[in-house]
Structure 1
Amino acid sequence: MPYTAKDKNIFLGLHTTSLVIHAVSAYYAFDLAPAPEKMKNYIYTESINFTTTTGDSSGEPTFTVEKTKIFDNANAIAIIGVNELITAISHLIAVATLMFHTTDEKLGKYTGRSRKEEYRRRWIEYGITAGLLEVGMLVGQGELNGVVLCMVLLANAAMQMIGWYNDATPARIRSVIPSINAFTIMFSIIIVFIIHAAGQTNDTLQSLSYSYLAVVFALFYLSFGVHQILYMYLEIDACGLKGVKYADCIDIDRIYVVLGFTSKIVLSWTYIAISRQTWDELTGNEDFRIDKKVSWEATDYSIQSWDAVKIGVLIGSLVIIALTCLLEGCGVCNSWARDYKSESLGQPLIETQDQKSSGQPLQLRRRRMIDINF
């Protein structure tokens, strides 16, 4: 599907902005990652040895669990840096693709559905980066079991496949069941984060706020599913019209780009802030500090400064998302909407002056029901 010239320029701007943000984020994440020699933990799998208490047939049957090292130096911040780099490369691919993409003012008009060029790249990227970010944050909280981490990666990939299915499937044959499955998978991963947050036992540490990370993680990751459910099914009253689809009021692909870079930046730097401020609070020995790259660490205002980073990226991202949704939503009453052709009827979303003067009644699209198809 081609883009209009205006849409092409907008997406070039969005993907270029995302590319720069993630590239800068990746650079600083790698720079602030602890040196390998400071990482004492490793990712492992468990080996089970069935034996007896005495080691021979005279003993009581039992089994022992042994850890088998599969990855040295479990460095959570470095994993997050890799994730940011992959995300930057994904947006670089989007920019390169758009540069050579044709435009068509008629065929390229937005029709209330995700563009193939956008959703294919998006769900492939999310299938890798969303899971890798989860793994990085879990490793940093002490989840080093390779089986659990692989399950998180695969669960995330399954969710993104459902996202692809929803975008690729025509509205008339969509089912809500895959989305229910995706939310079930998402809640299972959120529970893992909640359990790890609840398992942090050093109550004397002011900086150990993984419960805050779990809440922010749930908020931002669920926003993708909520956005998709809204544009698949929600109908609203807009500009005096009844039953206008949410997907007609905004460009769903542009919202995804904004959700993508804000979510990853918030979660990446929330974890980095918690990790470094906790390490800094734990030790006053200069020999055991991560490094001396952050000016406010090893000072009386280290915790407050990293807290400012956490709150700053959160508020900044929420403001960006809110402004984006507001600007997109206002577009339904702007001039572009008068020329917009709905996917289902091929008619203008908003009645034009010519239609009013000719006395032709405005045909509103039939209300779409949420069907459960088995």
Structure 2
Amino acid sequence: MNSIGYSHLLAFILHTVSAILAFLSQPESGLTLGKLVVPEVDFKGSNKTLLVVETDHVVFEDINIVGLIFTNEIITAVSHLLGVIGFFLYTDAMMRDGRHLESVRRYVEYAVTAGLLEVALLVGMGSTSFYQVLFILLSNVAIQLMGYMSERTQDRMRQIYYSLGGFVLLAPSITVIVWNATLVKGMERVEELAYFYLALYVLFGVHNLFDHVLPFWRNAIDRDTGYNILSVATKIGLSWLLIAITFKTYKDAGVALEPTIDMDFVVLQDALRYAIIAFVVVGLALTAFVLPKPKGSAVAATEAEKTGLMATIA
């Protein structure tokens, strides 16, 4: 067994616990449910004047962000359970062909869960734009395709192009979420949440790029284990920061959520902030210096580095 299997096991346990806590934390009443709308425009002529009347056409309604987080955590836990089964029982198959099965598992999961988490953040910040959500969901799928393609090609420059392409696709989504956060009033620390989102999502791209171009990074931090560490910190950290900020906002407004959760949400937010940073730093350090490395590299890079960036490895 290697670090990939252990990290999947840890991720499965943590996401399962997170899903259970999210389920138990869902308010039965008091929580304002979100909705997603598109503008419905009506052109009305009256007394030689054209009036443009815009109303909301509801696409989705009754969106419970805590329930959305619970769903996201369940999907993530099941995905990591598949990783546990694969690397504990079918190690040879999972390691074959540049760990292709693991790449497929990861990018299919991310295509769903990374987007759902962004939706939870947007709706939690009060956004109701269906267009924003649709754009972010489709952009996320495209980003995961870029990541998958960067791992399947053995041409160094294509790896770099795909990786940088992912950053380009991520930039508008980051802009939408961070900009929304800066315009939110009456919700403390929501900008901090958005900046944590920015940093953590960018870290995935940095890890992907460094794994392709920096031998010392690739040799120290296994590609798949690194992704698992970042995934746990990102999904659990951002999800519970959002829940803590939301519940604190209702508490400050004097709105009772039933059942009542007797907790200091400021302390919880502080703990989560430091826990996210510590988990990433300590997790990557353990991956680099303590956990057993998988045999062979996930990225066959040696020949390309010897013969030039444009080399394609046979």
TM-score range, shorter chain: 0.7 to 0.9
Residue of 120, 143, 146 corresponding to 1:162: 146
Query: In the alignment, does 2:266 pair up with 1:308?
Result: no
Query: In the alignment, does 2:286 pair up with 1:327?
Result: no
Number of residue pairs matched by the alignment:
311
Kept in 2, the 8 Å contact 1:123–1:160? The answer is yes
Letter in 1 for 2:261: V
Query: In the alignment, does 2:299 pair up with 1:369?
Result: no
Query: In the alignment, does 2:246 pair up with 1:257?
Result: no
Distance 1:316 1:20 in 2: 18
Shift of 1:235: 4.1
Q: Which SS does the other structure have where 1:34 is aligned?
A: coil
Letter in 2 for 1:146: F
Shift of 1:44: 2.0
**Alpha-carbon distance change, 141 to 331 in structure 1, aligned in 2, over 3 angstroms:** same
Could you tell me which residue of structure 2 aligns to residue 242 of structure 1?
Answer: none
Q: Counting helix residues as a fraction of each chain, which structure ranks higher?
A: 2
Distance 2:109 2:307 in 1: 34
% same residue: 25
Letter in 2 for 1:154: L
Could you tell me which residue of structure 2 aligns to residue 352 of structure 1?
Answer: none
Q: Which SS does the other structure have where 2:41 is aligned?
A: strand
Could you tell me which residue of structure 2 aligns to residue 221 of structure 1?
Answer: 201
Shift of 1:293: 4.3
Distance 2:233 2:76 in 1: 12
Computing the radius of gyration from Cα coordinates, the structure with the larger value is: 1
Shift of 1:179: 2.5
The 5 Å alignment of 1:142-181 reads 142-172=126-156, 174-181=158-165
Query: In the alignment, does 2:50 pair up with 1:61?
Result: yes
**Alpha-carbon distance change, 342 to 307 in structure 1, aligned in 2, over 3 angstroms:** closer
Q: Which SS does the other structure have where 2:306 is aligned?
A: coil
Could you tell me which residue of structure 1 aligns to residue 35 of structure 2?
Answer: 42
Shift of 1:156: 0.7
Could you tell me which residue of structure 1 aligns to residue 13 of structure 2?
Answer: 20
**Alpha-carbon distance change, 152 to 325 in structure 1, aligned in 2, over 3 angstroms:** same
The 5 Å alignment of 1:70-89 reads 70-89=59-78
The 5 Å alignment of 1:205-284 reads 208-236=188-216, 246-283=217-254
Residue of 165, 172, 177 corresponding to 1:193: 177
Query: What TM-score do the two structures reach when normalised by structure 2?
Result: 0.87
Letter in 1 for 2:267: S
Distance 1:175 1:251 in 2: 17
Could you tell me which residue of structure 2 aligns to residue 3 of structure 1?
Answer: none
Shift of 1:276: 0.9
Q: Which has the higher contact order (CA 8 A, sep 6+)?
A: 2
Kept in 2, the 8 Å contact 1:47–1:65? The answer is yes
Q: Which SS does the other structure have where 1:38 is aligned?
A: coil
Distance 1:154 1:148 in 2: 10
Shift of 1:15: 1.4
Kept in 2, the 8 Å contact 1:224–1:256? The answer is yes
Shift of 1:28: 1.1
Distance 1:71 1:163 in 2: 30
Kept in 1, the 8 Å contact 2:16–2:73? The answer is yes
Residue of 290, 302, 317 corresponding to 2:257: 290
Distance 2:221 2:271 in 1: 31
Runs (5+) with no aligned partner, structure 2: none
Q: Which SS does the other structure have where 2:92 is aligned?
A: coil
178-187 vs 265-274, greater mean Cα deviation: 178-187
Shift of 1:163: 0.3
Distance 2:265 2:297 in 1: 51
Runs (5+) with no aligned partner, structure 1: 1-5, 237-245, 297-301, 347-363
Deviations 1:49-89 (A, max 9, x none): 2222x2xxx43223222212232322212111111111011
Deviations 1:131-174 (A, max 9, x none): 00000011000111222111111111110110000011113562
Q: CA RMSD in A?
A: 3.1
Could you tell me which residue of structure 2 aligns to residue 133 of structure 1?
Answer: 117
Distance 2:260 2:30 in 1: 17
Kept in 2, the 8 Å contact 1:273–1:310? The answer is no
Distance 1:344 1:256 in 2: 19
